[in-house]
Amino acid sequence: MSGKTKLTVQLPDEAIGHIEELAKLLSVSRTDAIRRALKTELFLLKEQRAGKKILLRDEKNDSTMEVVML
């Protein structure tokens, strides 16, 4: 990204809460939390569309669950 563009969006309170929770968990600003969330979403969707499976592994229970992106 070579430049920056200011973007104004209207989000429901629930989405704002998610952004704030993510920012707190990552110890970053809300803007950085949104950037990271977008990059993560894009990465996961591209990988899934390339035929890869996204898996969550629970080592305590020795179980694996597939994540399905809509």
Distance CA 13, CA 59 (A): 35
The predicted pLDDT at position 52 comes to 95
The predicted pLDDT at position 32 comes to 97
**Please, which contacts does 27-35 make with residues 24 or more away whose CB atoms are closer than 8 Å?**
none
| pLDDT, tens only, 5-54 | 999 999 999 999 999 999 999 999 999 999 999 999 999 999 999 999 99
| pLDDT, tens only, 50-70 | 999 999 999 999 999 999 888
The predicted pLDDT at position 48 comes to 93
